[in-house]
Amino acid sequence: MNGLCNTFQPLCSRCQVNPRLKKQRWCRACLTASQRARRVASHTDQAAEASAGVTHAPTQAMPSVTQAPQPPALSPEAVPTAGASTSVTQAQRQALQEYWNAVHALQVRRQLRQGWLQDRSTILVPLEQQVKHARQRLVTLGINPEALRGG
Amino acid 84: pLDDT: 43
- State whether residue 44 is helix, strand or coil: helix
Whether residue 13 is predicted with pLDDT greater than 80 in this model: the reply is: yes
Q: Which domain holds residue 24?
A: 9-47
Amino acid 90: pLDDT: 86
The answer to whether residue 73 is domain-embedded is no
**Alpha helix ranges (H) inside the chain:** 28-51, 78-81, 90-110, 121-140, 145-149
Averaged pLDDT score across all residues of the chain: 75
Q: How far is CA 144 from the centre of its chain?
A: 37
Amino acid 65: pLDDT: 66
The answer to whether residue 1 is domain-embedded is no
Amino acid 126: pLDDT: 86
Amino acid 60: pLDDT: 64
Amino acid 32: pLDDT: 92
Percentage above 90 pLDDT, the chain: 7
CA distance 42 to 80: 69
100 in the same domain as 139: yes
Longest CA–CA span in the chain (Å) reads: 114
pTM exceeds 0.75 for this model: no
88 in the same domain as 27: no
CA distance 115 to 86: 46
Domain count along the chain: 2
84 in the same domain as 39: no
The answer to whether residue 23 is domain-embedded is yes
